[in-house]
Amino acid sequence: MSMFFKKPISVDYSLYLIADAEFASGRDLVPLIEAAVRGGVTVVQLRAKGYPYGDFLELGRRTAAALKKRHIPLIINDQVDIALACRAAGVHLGQDDMPPAIVRKMLSKGTVIGVSVNTLEEALEAERQGADYVGAGPVFRTATKATDLPVLGPEGIRRIKDGLHIPVIAVGGITEENARAVKEAGADGIAVVSAILGGPDPQKAARELKRVIGDSSPSWREI
């Protein structure tokens, strides 16, 4: 199956938007994503837990079409079948989802696989099974996602980063105020939900975050 990004050269993970449908607050999520990309978002993960399959698929296809125009990779949360149906650039897995090694066999060559981790041991196992990156968190306490997992802090991100050879994306409670400390701890990128979608102007919020963490040029292109 041909992906619309035919071959991944590399992915700029610096500003990773988790586009959670719950945070659209009744607004159409796709224009919010487009605004965030104009502000500097470099990769988008679409999350729609609780959505009926057909609704998630339709949202995924609309999002994929919008992002294709700007050559921004779309990653689908959890659902491998949705990622395939949307011809997404990748899929993001939780600890309770199928192992990356199994998912890899289901996807086209070059498809990105990310895995959520909370410990160095989980991160090492994800890397061993072929994950392309890990989302490590929560870095700080967050109301975005209910969890009993220990808070890592910047020092936890540094510990995981030092143990891996794949990119580490920090997630959980990251704001304009603390993003720099996370980047200085070695994170390859920051993943946010409410810091961009929680306000009235996603483009401005993304631009401010991009300014804090430093700019970089997008490195995902179609060849």
**The pLDDT value given to residue 3:** 41
DSSP string for residues in 29-44? HHHHHHHHHHHT--EE
Total count of domains within the chain: 1
Domain assignment present for 155: yes
- Taking only the tens of pLDDT, the chain with its 223 residues reads 334 444 444 799 999 999 999 998 889 999 999 999 999 999 999 999 989 999 999 999 999 999 999 999 999 999 999 999 999 999 999 999 999 999 999 998 899 999 999 999 999 999 999 999 999 999 999 876 667 899 999 999 999 999 999 999 999 999 999 999 999 999 999 999 999 999 999 999 999 999 999 865 443 333 2
Question: For residue 146, what are the domain limits?
Answer: 15-213
Domain assignment present for 104: yes
Phi-psi region of 172 (alpha: psi -120 to 50; beta: other; left: phi over 0): left
Measured from the Cβ of residue 154, the count of other Cβ atoms closer than 10 Å reads 19
Question: Is 104 considered catalytic here?
Answer: no
Q: Of 61, 128, 141, 145, which one is the catalytic site residue?
A: 145
Question: Is 109 considered catalytic here?
Answer: no
Q: Of 47, 87, 161, 207, which one is the catalytic site residue?
A: 47
What number of CA atoms fall less than 13 Å from residue 223's CA on the CB side?
A: 8
Domain assignment present for 24: yes
**The pLDDT value given to residue 6:** 43
Q: Are 196 and 208 in contact (CB under 8 A)?
A: no
Domain assignment present for 137: yes
Residue 33 CA, chain-centre distance (Å), reads 13
Q: Of 87, 116, 161, 207, which one is the catalytic site residue?
A: 116
**The pLDDT value given to residue 144:** 66
Domain assignment present for 32: yes
Q: What is the pLDDT of residues 62-118, one digit of tens each?
A: 999 999 999 999 999 999 999 999 999 999 999 999 999 999 999 988 999 999 999
Question: 172-190 burial string, b = 16+ CB within 10 Å, else e?
Answer: bbbbeebbebbbebebbbb
**The pLDDT value given to residue 215:** 62
Comparing CA positions, the residue from 193, 51, 170 lying closest to residue 179 is: 170
CATH of the domain at 62: 3.20.20.70
Domain assignment present for 6: no
Domain assignment present for 162: yes
Domain assignment present for 128: yes
